C-alpha cells in the first residue's frame, strides 16, 4: 500500500471508530431500575400517592424532565411533571420522589424521561407480575383504612382483630423501617388514615434532619387534618430534645426521663380488668416528663401525663409516654384495646352495625355504587338547573322508533306509497339526516348551549393560628367539546383573590367508576398538571357532559370571628360570639362536645350569647339532616330538594363521627379530612355558617367561568378554643 493511500485510510478508520463509540453510547441509555408506589406498595385509588422512581444512569450524563402519565377517574390520561429537572450521571442511581393520583384500581402507569423534548425513557407499567419485571400494585379501595407505622409495631394488629365484622373492608397496616420512605410533600399522606411513630429505635430518625422536607411535610399533613400517634418513652432525650426532629410533635417541652413503677392509669383507661405484669421483680418504666402540656390529658400517673391528645389546627396528635413495643407491654393482653382507643376506633361490641362510625365498613349493597358521602355530594352537584338528562327508557324507546323508521317504515314508504323501491337510496339517508337533526335539537332543548358550574366551598378557619383551609368541590358542564385550562383561585370574605398560601387542584374521583377502564370519549386527549399542581392544562370535556374537580388551599386569614367561651357543667360551652366579619352568616350553628346551639342568622357586628339550657343534642341535629339527605335521590330533572340535600350531605361529612350513625349506610372514607368531630372533644367549639359569596373562583385561561344558571354554596367553620373554668379564673 502506498503512503499516499495510508493516511486517508487511517483517517477513515479513526472516524469509523468514533462513530462506533457514539453508537455504543446509544446502546447504553439510562433505564428505570426500581419503582415504589405508595407505602410499601399500599395506596388508595383517587388519592395522592408517593411514587419513587430509581433511574440507572447510562453512558453519558443527562439532564431532563420526569413525567408520570396515568388515567384519572374518568379514564382520561393525565400527566404529572416533576417540579425540577433531574440529572442522571453515568453508572449511578438517582431516586426521584413524586406524587400522583390513580384513577383506576388496577393501576397503570407510564413513566417518561425527556431531554430537550425528546423521550429518552418511555416505559409503561401495569399490575401483571413477572420475572425481573417492575409492576404497579393494585390500589386499595377508598373505604379501606390504611394505617402506616414507622418503627417497631405497638400492637395495631391486636387492635384490628377487635373489629373483624361481616362486610367490613380489611384494615391495612404498613410497617416502614426507614424514614426515607416518608413523603416529602404533605399530600403524599392523602390516603393515610393514621400514622404511628414508635421511637424505641432513635437512630432511625437522624435522617429526618438531612433536608427537613419530610418533617415539614408531616407537620403540614397533620395541620391539614391528619392524625399522628407518637410513642416516645426511654428514647425521649434523643427524639424529643429541643433540636430533635420529633420535638415539634410533642404536646409539651421535654424536661427529663423519670422512672414509673405503676400503670393504674393505663389499666383504668381500658376498664381496669387487664393488669400489666412486670417482667422482673418489680415494674420499672422509663417515661418522659413534659412541662407546659397543651392538650387533653387522657391518662396520667400522678403528675406524669401518659396519654395526651392535642389539636394541631385541623388535625390531632396522640402522644403516648411509654414504649408499647417493649416489655412488659408486648405480652400485655390490654395492649390491643389500648391501641384501639388511641386510634379512635369504636369500642368493640357483639352487635356492631355496618354504619357505626370509625369502623369504616362498606355495606355490600353499595359495593359498586354510591357508598361514600363524598360521592353522594358529587352526584348532587351533577344536577344542573335547566339541564334535563333523558332517561334510559326514553333513549331505548327512541332507538326502537329509529329502527322501525329506517326498516319497516322506509319499506312501507317506498313499496306501498311511492311504489318505487329504488327511491330507498334517497329516503334512507334522508331519514338518517332527519333523525340526527332531531336528536341534536332534542339534546339542545334538554341540555341547552350554556356552560354551567355547580360548586360547594368549605372554608375552615383556625382562629388561634389565623390559618384558613379551603376545600372546593365542583362539577363543570360544557355544551361543546373543548380543552380547558383550569385554575381555582381562593377568595376572602370580601371577594378579593387570595395570593398567599398553597393550592392543590385535581380531578375528583368516584367510587362508581373505579373498576372501569378506558378513556372517557372517542375524542379524549391528554391533559397536564402544572408542576405546582395548582392548575390543569388542556382538560378535555366532551359535549354535553360533566367533569368533577376538587381544590384544596391553605392560607393566612384576617377574616376571624371573635369568641369568649368557657366550658360549663356537663361540658356545655357558654359565653359570647361576635361576628366581626363584614358579611352576614346564615343558618349558624355552634357545636362543642355533644351539644349544638342553633343560632339562625348572625348579622355582621352581631353579638350572640350562648346560654346553657338552650343547646340541643348534636347527634339528633345531624340525624335529622341525615334523614333529609337519605330521602332525596338524584333524578333526571333539577329539583330544589336535591339542592337542599347537598348541604345536608356536607353537614354529615363535616361531623360524621359526632353524628354516631348514618341513615343511608354511607361511609365518610374518601374525604374524611372534612370531619372535625375529633376537635369537639378537645376543648374546641366550632361556629358553622353559610355565606352568599363564593370562597373560590374557577378560571379558564385567566377568565372567570360563571353564568346565571350556576349554583354555589359557601360554608364557613370557625374553630375556637374553649377555656376551662380554672383557666378562666386565672
Residue ranges and CATH numbers for the domains of the chain are 26-139 (2.60.40.10), 144-361 (3.40.50.880), 375-381+450-513+521-556 (no CATH), 392-445 (no CATH), 562-688+714-729 (no CATH)
Handedness of CA 362, 368, 370, 372 (dihedral sign): positive
Are residues 531 and 457 in contact, defined by beta-carbon separation less than 8 angstroms? no
pTM for this prediction: 0.85
pLDDT bracket for residue 447 (50, 70, 90)? low
Structure-derived torsion over alpha carbons of residues 391, 395, 397, 399, reported in degrees to the nearest 10: -170
Residue among 557, 596, 598 at smallest CA distance from 580: 557
Mean pLDDT of the chain: 83
SS3 track for 260-279? ECCCHHHHHHCCCCCCCCCC
Given the C-alpha cell 349506610, which residue does it identify? 665
Residue among 702, 580, 711 at smallest CA distance from 645: 711
Q: Which residue has the higher pLDDT, 162 or 512?
A: 162
Q: What is the DSSP letter of 413?
A: I
pLDDT bracket for residue 12 (50, 70, 90)? very low
pLDDT of residue 375: 87
Q: Which residue has the higher pLDDT, 429 or 61?
A: 61
Quote the CA–CA distance of 29 and 62 in Å, as a whole number: 10
Which of 60-64, 208-212, 235-239, 337-341 has the lowest average pLDDT?
208-212
Quote the CA–CA distance of 448 and 435 in Å, as a whole number: 19
Which of 152-166, 176-190, 400-414, 695-709 has the lowest average pLDDT?
400-414
pLDDT of residue 382: 84
Percent of the chain with pLDDT over 70: 82
Structure-derived torsion over alpha carbons of residues 433, 434, 437, 441, reported in degrees to the nearest 10: -170
Q: What is the mean pLDDT of residues 374-386?
A: 83
Are residues 175 and 165 in contact, defined by beta-carbon separation less than 8 angstroms? no
Q: Which residue has the higher pLDDT, 468 or 245?
A: 468
- Cα-only R_g, the chain: 30
Residues 23-54 pLDDT 10s: 444 468 999 999 999 999 999 999 999 999 99
Q: Which residue has the higher pLDDT, 360 or 243?
A: 243
| Contacts of 259-262 spanning 24+ positions with Cβ under 8 A | 259/284, 259/285, 259/286, 259/287, 260/284, 260/285, 260/286, 260/287, 260/301, 260/304, 260/322, 261/285, 262/301
Quote the CA–CA distance of 148 and 524 in Å, as a whole number: 37
User: Which DSSP string do the residues of 591-656 spell out, in sequence order?
Assistant: EETTEEEEEEEE-TT-EEEE-TTS-EEHHHHHHHHHHHHHH----SS--HHHHHHHHHHHHHHHTH
Residue among 494, 490, 495 at smallest CA distance from 604: 494
pLDDT of residue 390: 55
Quote the CA–CA distance of 622 and 662 in Å, as a whole number: 9
Residues 110-169 pLDDT 10s: 999 999 989 999 999 988 776 667 888 899 988 889 999 999 889 888 888 876 555 566
Amino acid at each position: 500500500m502506498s503512503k499516499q493511500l495510508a493516511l486517508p485510510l487511517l483517517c477513515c478508520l479513526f472516524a469509523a471508530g468514533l462513530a462506533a463509540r457514539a453508537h455504543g453510547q446509544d446502546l447504553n441509555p439510562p433505564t428505570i431500575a426500581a419503582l415504589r408506589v405508595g407505602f410499601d406498595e399500599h395506596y388508595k385509588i383517587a388519592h395522592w400517592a408517593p411514587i419513587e422512581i430509581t433511574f440507572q444512569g447510562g453512558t453519558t450524563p443527562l439532564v431532563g424532565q420526569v413525567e408520570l402519565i396515568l388515567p384519572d377517574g374518568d379514564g382520561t390520561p393525565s400527566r404529572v411533571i416533576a417540579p425540577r429537572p433531574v440529572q442522571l450521571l453515568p453508572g449511578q442511581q438517582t431516586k426521584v420522589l413524586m406524587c400522583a393520583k390513580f384513577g383506576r384500581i388496577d393501576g397503570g402507569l407510564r413513566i417518561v424521561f425527556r431531554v430537550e423534548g425528546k423521550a429518552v425513557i418511555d416505559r409503561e407499567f401495569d399490575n401483571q407480575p413477572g420475572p425481573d419485571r417492575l409492576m404497579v400494585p393494585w390500589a386499595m379501595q377508598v373505604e379501606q383504612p390504611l394505617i402506616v407505622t414507622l418503627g417497631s409495631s405497638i400492637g395495631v394488629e391486636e387492635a384490628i382483630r377487635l373489629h373483624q365484622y361481616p362486610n367490613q373492608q380489611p384494615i391495612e397496616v404498613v410497617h416502614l423501617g426507614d424514614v426515607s420512605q416518608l413523603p416529602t410533600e404533605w399530600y403524599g399522606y392523602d390516603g393515610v388514615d393514621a400514622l404511628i411513630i414508635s421511637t424505641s429505635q432513635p437512630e432511625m430518625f437522624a435522617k429526618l434532619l438531612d433536608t427537613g422536607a419530610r418533617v415539614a411535610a408531616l407537620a403540614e399533613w397533620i395541620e391539614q387534618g391528619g392524625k399522628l400517634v407518637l410513642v416516645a418513652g426511654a428514647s425521649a432525650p434523643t427524639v424529643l430534645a429541643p433540636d430533635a426532629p420529633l420535638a415539634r410533635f410533642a404536646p409539651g417541652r421535654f424536661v427529663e426521663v423519670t422512672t414509673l413503677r405503676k400503670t393504674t392509669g393505663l389499666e383504668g383507661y381500658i376498664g381496669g380488668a387487664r393488669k400489666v405484669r412486670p417482667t422482673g421483680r418489680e415494674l420499672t418504666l422509663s417515661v418522659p416528663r413534659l412541662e407546659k402540656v397543651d392538650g387533653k390529658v387522657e391518662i396520667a400517673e400522678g403528675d406524669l401525663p401518659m396519654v395526651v391528645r392535642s389539636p394541631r389546627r385541623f388535625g390531632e396528635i396522640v402522644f403516648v409516654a411509654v414504649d408499647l413495643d417493649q416489655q412488659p407491654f408486648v405480652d400485655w393482653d390490654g395492649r390491643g384495646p389500648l391501641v384501639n382507643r388511641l386510634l379512635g376506633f369504636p369500642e368493640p361490641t357483639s352487635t356492631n352495625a355496618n354504619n357505626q362510625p370509625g369502623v369504616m365498613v362498606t355495606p355490600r349493597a353499595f359495593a359498586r355504587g354510591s357508598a361514600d358521602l363524598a360521592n353522594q355530594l358529587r352526584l348532587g352537584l351533577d344536577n344542573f338547573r335547566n339541564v334535563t338528562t333523558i332517561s334510559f327508557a326514553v333513549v331505548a324507546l327512541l332507538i326502537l322508533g329509529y329502527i322501525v323508521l329506517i326498516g319497516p317504515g322506509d319499506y312501507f314508504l317506498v313499496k306501498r306509497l311511492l311504489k318505487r323501491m329504488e327511491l330507498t337510496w334517497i329516503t334512507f339517508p334522508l331519514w338518517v339526516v332527519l333523525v340526527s337533526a332531531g336528536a341534536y335539537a332534542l339534546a339542545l332543548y334538554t341540555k341547552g348551549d350554556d356552560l354551567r358550574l355547580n360548586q360547594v366551598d368549605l372554608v375552615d378557619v383556625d382562629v388561634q393560628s389565623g390559618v384558613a383551609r379551603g376545600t372546593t368541590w365542583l362539577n363543570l358542564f360544557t355544551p361543546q367539546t373543548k380543552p380547558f385550562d383550569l385554575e381555582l383561585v381562593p377568595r376572602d370574605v370580601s371577594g378579593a383573590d387570595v395570593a398567599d398560601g398553597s393550592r392543590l387542584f385535581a380531578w375528583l374521583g368516584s367510587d362508581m367508576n373505579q373498576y372501569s377502564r378506558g378513556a372517557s370519549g372517542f375524542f379524549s386527549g391528554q391533559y397536564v398538571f402544572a408542576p405546582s399542581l395548582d392548575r390543569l392544562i388542556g382538560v378535555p370535556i366532551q359535549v354535553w357532559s360533566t367533569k368533577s374537580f376538587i381544590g384544596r388551599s391553605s392560607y393566612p386569614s384576617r377574616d376571624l370571628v371573635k369568641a369568649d367561651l368557657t366550658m360549663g357543667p356537663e361540658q356545655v360551652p357558654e359565653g359570647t360570639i361576635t361576628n366581626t366579619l363584614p358579611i352576614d352568616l346564615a343558618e349558624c350553628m355552634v357545636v362543642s362536645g355533644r351539644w349544638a346551639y342553633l343560632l339562625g342568622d348572625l348579622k355582621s357586628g352581631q353579638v350572640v350569647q350562648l346560654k346553657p339550657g338552650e343547646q340541643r343534642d348534636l347527634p339528633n341535629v345531624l340525624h335529622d339532616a341525615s334523614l333529609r339527605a337519605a330521602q332525596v335521590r338524584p333524578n333526571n330533572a333539577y329539583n330544589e330538594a336535591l339542592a337542599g340535600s347537598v348541604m345536608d350531605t356536607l353537614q354529615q361529612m363535616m361531623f360524621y363521627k359526632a353524628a354516631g350513625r348514618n341513615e343511608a349506610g354511607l361511609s365518610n372514607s374518601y374525604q374524611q379530612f372534612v370531619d372535625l368531630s375529633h376537635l369537639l372533644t378537645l376543648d374546641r367549639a366550632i361556629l358553622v355558617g353559610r355565606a352568599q359569596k363564593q370562597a373560590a373562583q374557577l378560571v379558564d385561561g385567566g377568565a372567570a367561568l360563571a353564568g346565571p344558571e350556576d349554583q354555589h354554596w359557601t360554608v364557613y367553620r370557625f374553630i375556637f378554643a374553649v377555656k376551662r373554668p380554672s383557666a378562666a379564673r386565672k
